[in-house]
Amino acid sequence: MREVAVVGAGMTAFGEIWDKSLRDLFVEAALAAIDNSGVDKVDYMTIGCMSGGLFVGQEHLGSLMADYLGIKNLPAARVETACASGGLALRHAFAEVASGMSDIVIAGGVEKMTDISGDGATFALATAADQEYEVYHGATFPGLYALMAVAHMEKYGTTREMLSAVSVKNHNNGSMNPFAQYPFKVTADQVASSVMVADPLRILDCSPITDGAAAVVVTTVEIAKKLGKPYIKVLGSGHATDKIALHSRHDITTLQATEVAAKKALEMAGKKIKDIDFAEVHDCFTIAEIVVSESLGIFEKGKGGEAALKGETALDGSFPINPSGGLKSKGHPVGATGIAQIVEIYKQLTGQAEGDRQLKNSPKLALAQNMGGSGGSTLVHIMEVA
């Protein structure tokens, strides 16, 4: 297996981008990544997108994006595993490069979520749950994560203040990210008094509906060296699923797919979770970041909320989580999110994160955790400075 690197990164601003279409967004991010990497050719392209079909009536993004990117006959295709589609795009790019099938691959992600009218976005997102046994009976994702929050509070004593601490911390980080959809700070009081969505989750516990795209250039370490640009190594890739429906799981206070994917990625990298300097994780809801931080083994089971409240996951904490602002503040264009995490890790590990969110401790090793549905799929990647 060849050693794999990420050698350039780009993304669009995240937000309600009314003047750009799905193709415009993706091409902007891909061109930014190509430009940033200095590559003069591309051999393959993988595109994470959850539902071009339901959001904008467009499937077949491989052909569309290669065409609009202007790279003749470029082999390109979409991959999907709900909100973890971006992480999946990175894994497929990794396999293409590691196997020797391709030398230089764009791994990108995109979603255009604000063009759909009425409750269309809620329906489109709900197709990541079990349609026949959850959604037809009224479940949507805020409701499913609310069930997880209630169970976690009951079992471990997790509190409203702990949930709020996650939102406050991520909005603080995101306020320094020029690409963030909501780059403003919030207070714990604001979070706790924001409008209720699904008890106990309030609107400031929830990631937003977002348009956006992100892309990275994946190649061999050998080629990355020759390009003379900053690069990072991808040491491990872990992928796992869990039962898709929440009611089929034995314990909804933990995320088994995250546990298994992290174990695989760390084993492949030859590292332990204690070796990791910071992580970008999938905080689609505040409770998700808490449970993920426990399932990854960063904190003991039931201690994730307390750690957030104590500032352990802040930029200057013992284990910074989501320096980018996370899905909460940066935004969550679902297919792009997993790649936007890699963009942040690339910037942090190469010392290029904008403003004061650059971690001060010269991070060497980072982890990205991207999940789909209520945790039915998870991709974990481990990256190291070159």
* Footprint of a copy of itself on 80-109 (CB under 8 A): 80-82, 88, 92, 94-96, 98-101
Sheet holding 104-112, edge to edge: 44-48, 104-112, 211-220, 4-11, 232-241, 377-385, 365-372, 278-280
- Phi, psi torsion values for 329, nearest 5 degrees: -100, -40
Residue 23: count other Cβ atoms within 10 Å of its Cβ: 19
Q: Would you call 206 a catalytic residue per the annotation?
A: no
Stretch that binds a copy of itself, among 209-217, 241-249, 301-309, 361-369 (CB under 8 A): 241-249
Residues found in the chain: 386
Q: Which of 92, 239, 282, 332 is catalytic?
A: 332
Distant-in-sequence, close-in-space partners of 365: CB < 8 Å, separation ≥ 6: 271, 275, 276, 277, 382, 383, 384, 385
Instruction: List the structure tokens of 6.
Output: 């990420």
Q: Binding to a copy of itself by residue 131, rule CB under 8 A?
A: yes
The count of residues interacting with a copy of itself (CB under 8 A) is: 66
Shortest approach of a copy of itself to residue 63 CB, angstroms? 3
Q: Would you call 60 a catalytic residue per the annotation?
A: no
Residue 99 vs 362, nearer CB to a copy of itself: 99
With beta carbons less than 8 A apart as the criterion, state whether 58 and 115 touch. Answer: no
Stretch that binds a copy of itself, among 30-38, 58-66, 288-296, 317-325 (CB under 8 A): 58-66
Residue 100 vs 351, nearer CB to a copy of itself: 100
The residue from 56, 166, 216, 269 that contacts a copy of itself (CB under 8 A) is 56
SS3 category, 339: helix
- Using CA atoms, how far apart are residues 16 and 227, in angstroms rounded to an integer? 35
Instruction: List the structure tokens of 37.
Output: 């990497």
Residue 297: count other Cβ atoms within 10 Å of its Cβ: 17
* Footprint of a copy of itself on 179-218 (CB under 8 A): none
Q: Which residues bind a copy of itself (CB under 8 A)?
A: 1, 21, 23, 44, 50-54, 56-64, 66-67, 73-82, 88, 92, 94-96, 98-101, 123-124, 127-132, 135, 237-245, 248, 256-257, 260-261, 372-373, 376-377
Instruction: Indicate which residues carry an active-site annotation.
Output: 83, 332
